[in-house]
Copies of this chain bind each other. A is one copy, B any other.
């Protein structure tokens, strides 16, 4: 038997995003802007790993350990327990930096395959041990927090060992194991000439199982489709047994169990296999920057692209504040900055005063990508956008997974920074945008601080689009989590009030669970709970998440 415990990944930093050696610093322009707009925060350096305090773990019943594959599949090391004590949301990072991880799993289990997962779940149900399925640990909504619920013991079930990848090149589908990280899945597919085309910001660490459990969306999902649109079949290993949906391109055989398992966030069982549609590795990736006259104009352009069938594979429209901050953060200074400003002014005063950055990209066979680019460009131009060429596109591509590192640098500097996202139909998108912006701005100023709220559209559909907000304010040292909670609640209430969804792709986890009643209603929740009770009669699966 493989010593699966040894597979637990310790390459990542425990207290920040990504690998331990990744570092960086804010540029001078960014520092200046933050100083001017937010003032000086109190730096928050992390404590060393061995200073992180956790309570000793309760012993795990022998039957559970045996079911997982024996001692080789078990870790009770403090380091592994700490690394499995949460995701990468702002509160997770604060707790880790302060060294006050109050809850950690009693142990980490790393079963070698799906059969052992089934055995573990049966043993845990029998023994009354709560189970948190654990993939990349990148949740930003408390999706992997070790909430015990009514149970005295809790294990994190690390799925690292489940990393199968079997490609069917004729059907252009692949079976992928839940433990594959984004780059591992891509490497397996690329070697046969295919790509999943799924590149969320968490791509380097998030896993296939996590994509499925949270209905992930990637940066190119306007083109390739969200994860729930490319997943054609799924295997759920629940405490009550397995559900395997048929692998056919489509079926009319009743309600979709696949769509019941997608988004279930580990509360129904463990996703042990996902079948996905894949595509040929694109011959070309063409990304470029444009400047829309304003955010509403940019949204109109996105709508025209989508509704006219000319949608690029990547569309990312920043609002005025995000455009301004991005330009400062990018370190575009001096002559280059002035050249951009002159270029925009020459095209019309409004571009310099209210213009918004738009990144668009096309992927595929050269001829096809170029043809589609030509069609999109016509729509962009007729919507009043002006081209900035390939350079902003390359910058975006280069930095597309860097956002979370930037967050760490801001937290270092004593800044509270959080992102949240929603979506709505075009007819109500402006209302939703205004509501969330004011809720955050008001919340920050009521807290006595200055703040920045910025937003971008990251996913575009025929009927509407997503909105992705980032907000920054000086953190209240020692009360960061309370401060965060107040601002997050204000934003969530604004979203609910404007009829948007509580989450477009971050999922529900623990943070959004209180809003599920607004999202799907009392009876909707009860219906999902009825399904859960059948699949997980003991209620051991990921307590406190999704439905609370």
Interface of A toward B, CB cutoff 8 Å: 168, 170-173, 214-217, 226, 228, 232, 238, 240-265, 268, 277, 279-280, 303, 307-309, 364-365, 368, 422-428, 459, 461-466, 499-508, 512, 516, 519-524, 526-531, 533-535, 546-547
B523 touches A253 (CB 8 A): no
A425 touches B263 (CB 8 A): no
Tell me the nearest residue of chain B to A372, going by C-beta. B309
A254 touches B265 (CB 8 A): yes
- In Å, the complex CA distance between A263 and B256 comes to 8
- In Å, the complex CA distance between A253 and B364 comes to 31
A523 touches B425 (CB 8 A): no
B253 touches A512 (CB 8 A): yes
Given contacts A508-B253, A546-B254, contact A245 B520 (CB under 8 A): yes
Shortest Cβ distance from residue A214 to the other chain B in the assembled complex, whole angstroms = 6
Shortest Cβ distance from residue A502 to the other chain B in the assembled complex, whole angstroms = 5
Tell me the nearest residue of chain B to A534, going by C-beta. B530
- In Å, the complex CA distance between A318 and B256 comes to 29
List, in ascending order, chain B residues with CB within 8 A of A216's CB.
252
B260 touches A426 (CB 8 A): no
Given contacts A241-B523, A463-B277, A523-B535, contact A423 B248 (CB under 8 A): yes
List, in ascending order, chain B residues with CB within 8 A of A240's CB.
523, 526
Given contacts A173-B425, A249-B463, A527-B535, contact A521 B243 (CB under 8 A): yes
- From B425, B505, B506, B508, contact of A168 by CB (8 A): B425
List, in ascending order, chain B residues with CB within 8 A of A507's CB.
252-253
Tell me the nearest residue of chain B to A464, going by C-beta. B249
User: Quick one: which of A261, A428, A531, A546 has the most chain B CB within 10 A?
Assistant: A531
List, in ascending order, chain B residues with CB within 8 A of A253's CB.
263, 501-503, 507-508, 512, 516, 519-520
User: Quick one: which of A250, A260, A503, A533 has the most chain B CB within 10 A?
Assistant: A250
- In Å, the complex CA distance between A523 and B459 comes to 35
A-B residue pairs in contact (CB < 8 Å), sample of 5: A232-B463, A243-B527, A252-B501, A254-B264, A256-B260
B426 touches A170 (CB 8 A): yes
Shortest Cβ distance from residue A90 to the other chain B in the assembled complex, whole angstroms = 19
- From B171, B257, B465, B521, contact of A249 by CB (8 A): B465
A463 touches B259 (CB 8 A): no
- In Å, the complex CA distance between A328 and B402 comes to 65
- In Å, the complex CA distance between A307 and B364 comes to 12
- In Å, the complex CA distance between A425 and B280 comes to 17
List, in ascending order, chain B residues with CB within 8 A of A260's CB.
255-256, 259-260, 527
In the A-B complex, the 8 residue pairs with the closest CB atoms: A259-B259, A249-B464, A171-B425, A249-B461, A251-B501, A215-B252, A530-B534, A256-B259
- In Å, the complex CA distance between A289 and B214 comes to 44
Given contacts A252-B507, A254-B516, A425-B248, contact A171 B530 (CB under 8 A): no
Given contacts A254-B265, A507-B252, contact A530 B528 (CB under 8 A): no
Known: A280-B307, A526-B534, A527-B531. 5 other contacts (CB 8 A): A170-B427, A172-B426, A248-B425, A251-B504, A256-B256
List, in ascending order, chain B residues with CB within 8 A of A461's CB.
249-250
Tell me the nearest residue of chain B to A503, going by C-beta. B252
- From B307, B427, B504, contact of A252 by CB (8 A): B504
Given contacts A243-B521, A245-B520, contact A171 B254 (CB under 8 A): no
B463 touches A173 (CB 8 A): yes
- In Å, the complex CA distance between A527 and B529 comes to 11
A527 touches B534 (CB 8 A): yes
Given contacts A246-B501, A309-B368, contact A168 B427 (CB under 8 A): yes
Given contacts A171-B425, A171-B426, A521-B243, contact A254 B528 (CB under 8 A): yes
A243 touches B523 (CB 8 A): yes
Shortest Cβ distance from residue A528 to the other chain B in the assembled complex, whole angstroms = 6
Given contacts A171-B426, A257-B528, A262-B256, contact A250 B523 (CB under 8 A): no
Shortest Cβ distance from residue A516 to the other chain B in the assembled complex, whole angstroms = 7
List, in ascending order, chain B residues with CB within 8 A of A368's CB.
309
Given contacts A242-B523, A255-B528, A264-B254, contact A249 B535 (CB under 8 A): no
List, in ascending order, chain B residues with CB within 8 A of A516's CB.
253-254
